[in-house]
Structure 1
Amino acid sequence: MSETPNQAILTSRDGHVAIIELNRPPHNFFDVEMIARIADELDRLQADKTCRAVLLQAGGSAFCAGADFSRRNGAEGRSASRINPIYLEALRIFSFSKPIVAAIEGAAVGGGLGLALAADFRVSCAKARFSANFNRLGIHPGFALSYTLPALIGKQMAAWLLYTGARVDGARASELGLVDFIVPEAEVRTAAMALAREMATSSPRALQSTRQTLKADSLSHIRNAISRESAEQATQFAGPDMAEGVKAMAERRLPVFED
């Protein structure tokens, strides 16, 4: 694997399949820089005709735990009229035209779940955990989850996950449709690579045009979702609910929000 300058991600190649690995163990918390580096790599692979599919994986105990709200960096002061910079970079990931397979061996939480849903397929194991815990933290969902989650599993189940912040294991995630394939933990990467290779044997032009047909107008919906999510979050980052939500998470207790 080759390393980016700050090692936020690692990149390598297996034939027609490019591999991007998140490299901030154990939790792989992301920031603007990490998401931008993933997007930069996808932009490079977009122009690389020898790349036909991408495998997204992670080192550490978690696939991605989203943003580290215990180290808030001033994003709460953002104007409600501006898109969250992380989500602007995420739009570039969603704009990638080649199929992505995510190998999820650990937790995908918050924005980390949003990143997982940017992939076309998710291969995971029973041990993995999934949670859209934004409301439990006192803020509106982000990373386009207000669109991608209901589009994938239906509005009712998406509402349950978003409203409650419920954490589900890999088996339940598979039942809900969050995960496409469940395999033993030791086989997650192998199975995900096998799927990526299988797609890479198809005609690259036919593959990408078929994907474009299936995705249709999803990107415009994602842009709209990110715009609203950014505006809602901008007003909530500095609010008392988020302060309590983050404090409760750090203290491993249920939050107590004021009426």
Structure 2
Amino acid sequence: MSATQDIRIVHDGAVALVEMDRPPHNFVDAGFMQRLADDLERLDKVDACRAVVLMSAGKNFCAGADFSGAAKSGEAVDPSAFYVHAMRLFGTSKPIVAAVNGAAVGAGLGLTLAADFRVAGPGTRFSANFNRLGFHPGFGLTLTLPRLIGEQKASLLFYTGRRIGGEEAARIGLADEVAADDEGIRTRAIALAQEIAASAPLAVESTRAALRADLQKRVALANQDELSIQLRQFRTEDFKEGVAAMAQRRLPAFRRC
């Protein structure tokens, strides 16, 4: 077992359980993404580890990125460092199953798509809420989301920012399995990881590498384009309105400026 201030790792046979613990909603920042990428890259070197379950403590998997430090200091939001480490997640070699409880919103959704498979439950809520906040999607989602569910369905989720539950996520291909109740999400995710771990590890890793091919490079390139647009839109009045509306729990009144 190993641990940092907000990540716990327990080995259950050939499966590594990586638990995020950033109460109350598992918001993530650049420092956290660096630690998570470091941990997953270390697990790549552990021969006894054949699969990984990425899960979270608390009621939400990950409710998004935390850029509140910049907001409080009056600095412009710049997620560049955050994305540098987020892109590293796509270059790891061990299969990852995400146990998605509660909200997987914005960067939280992006994090689930760095995994190979997603197990959801009745209380799971996926959302690409970027446009509702007044800015362009990030985390490479303009590539990873349509790659998984198709351009049409991805467009709908991006443009509306709507939240979808576990059953609908499974129907459109965003979730691979749905547990009968939220308590069963981890159990199902671990069972799936153990099933993967029972296969020949060298064969699994080579097959995964062939299927993902140059995914890390393509996601990183998509993210570069996303970031350049985001940095411009973070300076707009619509972005300020989107953030304010979310904090006040009201519909935003965007003005295209």
Q: Which residue in 2 is equivalent to 1:224?
A: 221
Write the letter of the residue equivalent to 1:85: A
Q: Which residue in 2 is equivalent to 1:165?
A: 161
Q: Which residue in 2 is equivalent to 1:234?
A: 231
Deviation at residue 224 of structure 1 after TM alignment: 1.1
Aligned pair partner of 2:81 in 85, 88, 92: 85
SS of residue paired to 2:118: strand
| Runs of 4+ displaced beyond 4 Å | none
Structure 2 CA distance for partners of 1:63 and 1:75, relative to 1, 3 Å: farther
Number of matched pairs = 253
Q: Which residue in 1 is equivalent to 2:188?
A: 191
Distance in structure 2 (CA, Å) of the matches to 1:105 and 1:169: 10
SS of residue paired to 2:61: strand
Could you list the per-position Cα deviations for residues 52-104 of structure 1 after superposition, in whole angstroms to 9, with x for gaps in the alignment? 111000011110011135553577364xxxx8111110111110011000001
SS of residue paired to 1:72: helix
Aligned 8 A contact 2:61 2:103 in 1: yes
Write the letter of the residue equivalent to 1:153: I
Deviation at residue 217 of structure 1 after TM alignment: 2.6
RMSD over aligned CA atoms reads 1.5
Write the letter of the residue equivalent to 1:89: H
Aligned 8 A contact 2:55 2:98 in 1: yes
Distance in structure 2 (CA, Å) of the matches to 1:25 and 1:15: 28
Aligned pair partner of 1:49 in 31, 47, 50: 47
Distance in structure 1 (CA, Å) of the matches to 2:172 and 2:213: 23
Q: Which residue in 2 is equivalent to 1:143?
A: 139
Distance in structure 1 (CA, Å) of the matches to 2:75 and 2:233: 11
Distance in structure 2 (CA, Å) of the matches to 1:129 and 1:12: 26
Deviation at residue 47 of structure 1 after TM alignment: 1.2
Q: Which residue in 2 is equivalent to 1:123?
A: 119
TM-score (norm 2): 0.94
Write the letter of the residue equivalent to 1:244: E
Q: Which residue in 2 is equivalent to 1:24?
A: 22
Aligned 8 A contact 2:98 2:118 in 1: yes
In the alignment, structure 1 residue 95 sits paired with structure 2 residue 88: no
Unpaired stretches in structure 1, ≥5 consecutive residues: none
Aligned 8 A contact 2:126 2:165 in 1: yes
| Aligned counterparts, 1:206-221, within 5 A | 206-221=203-218
Could you list the per-position Cα deviations for residues 125-145 of structure 1 after superposition, in whole angstroms to 9, with x for gaps in the alignment? 021101000010011101111
Structure 2 CA distance for partners of 1:92 and 1:75, relative to 1, 3 Å: farther
Aligned pair partner of 1:61 in 51, 59, 69: 59
Query: Percent identity among equivalent residues?
Result: 52
